[in-house]
Amino acid sequence: MSKLFVELGRRGYPIHIGPGLFGRDGPLSIATSGRDLMIVSNETVAPLYLAAVTHATAGARRTENIILPDGESYKTLDVLDRVFSALLQKRFGRDAVLLALGGGVVGDLVGFAAASFQRGIDFVQVPTTLLAQVDSSVGGKTAVNHALGKNMIGAFHQPISVVADTTTLDTLPDRELSAGMAEVVKYGLVCDAAFFLWLEDNAERLLARDREALTYAIQRSCEIKAQVVAADERETGNRALLNLGHTFGHAIENAMGYGVWLHGEAVAAGMAMAADLSRRLGWLTNEDVERTETLLKRLALPIRGPHQLGPETLRDLMMVDKKVAAGKNRLVLLRSIGDALLSENFDESNLFTTLTECRSTA
């Protein structure tokens, strides 16, 4: 097991990464011992891991659980209310702890529930997908979706612990594994050219679920995320750079219907669009764009948006984004591989061309 720490003073917390972390004397026991515990999972993950996690948290004062439907389309206020209702019906108090057992949807929703219930209670992230292990479980961004925009209703609320048991990736479908790789590639593109090169050298090992390669990719991603969050917890500065591809990607998810495109798939296409626009602005070279697109394709990720989504629709949806300021959209773009910036200084005609040409043909 490797252990990192998010340095946020009294809100700081550990990130545990490795196989077999659901043991009785492991990090889950430490985080939940002597407390009322509500485990929240979904219909896919619960049959696989709920029993093990319940066993690992046997030191809790009492344990209840709630099983939610699985999928991005259920990351809503209505489903969130089911968590609140369960907490109230079971008479949980401010000293209770929530545990999110699942992927990014469960983690985001449970984190928001913890931020809101009785004005804030503790929660533990137990991410079971690659995307959640490398990104959404770390940093305290919690939210639910709205019909008009993704993650537009939420709060910053840090977990007290993140426990990423890498053996859960053994049961992850191939499509979900690839979707998680998009967030891994993001870290290399944004701020670590050497990591990007390592990914180019190890793409096939990662898709083959090589344990050593996956563990390194998760650890390096979490190291970068922890450093960025410690310096900019509430995304007022450089943390926004970790949204590379997300403004494009969120618009795709919204337009196509939440869950039709997986989050990582939409982000991958969005990063390819950001690279294309960066080239049109004279920053990225043709070689950089080709390297970006080639790596994404090797990881079984899309590099073009859906053909049925026109540039006007996509552009309008991109304006429903948390980086919009004073009516102007700000995009995360690239000066080079490993060097990102947040900019509103781009010609709309270049953006429109990118949105037009970065669509699939069928």
Residues marked active site are found at: 119, 141, 183, 225, 235, 239, 243, 246, 250, 263
Are 17 and 164 contacting, i.e. CB atoms less than 8 angstroms apart? yes
Query: What angle do the packed helices 246-256 and 263-280 form, to 10 degrees?
Result: 130
CA 238 to chain centre: 17
Q: Which two tokens stand for residue 278?
A: 């960066």
Task: Please state, in angstroms and as integers, the Cα–Cα distance from residue 139 to each residue in 62, 158, 231, 324, 362, following that order.
Answer: 28, 6, 11, 21, 37
Structure tokens at 129: 């997908």
Cβ(182)–Cβ(262) below 8 Å: no
Residue bearing tokens 């490398």: 134
CA distance 361 to 5: 45
> What's the longest Cα–Cα distance across the chain?
60
Residue matched to tokens 């029993």? 51
Q: Which amino acid is at 197?
A: L
d(CA 177, CA 207): 8
What is the DSSP pairing of strand 97-102 with strand 36-42?
parallel
> Cα–Cα distance between 73 and 18 in angstroms, integer?
30
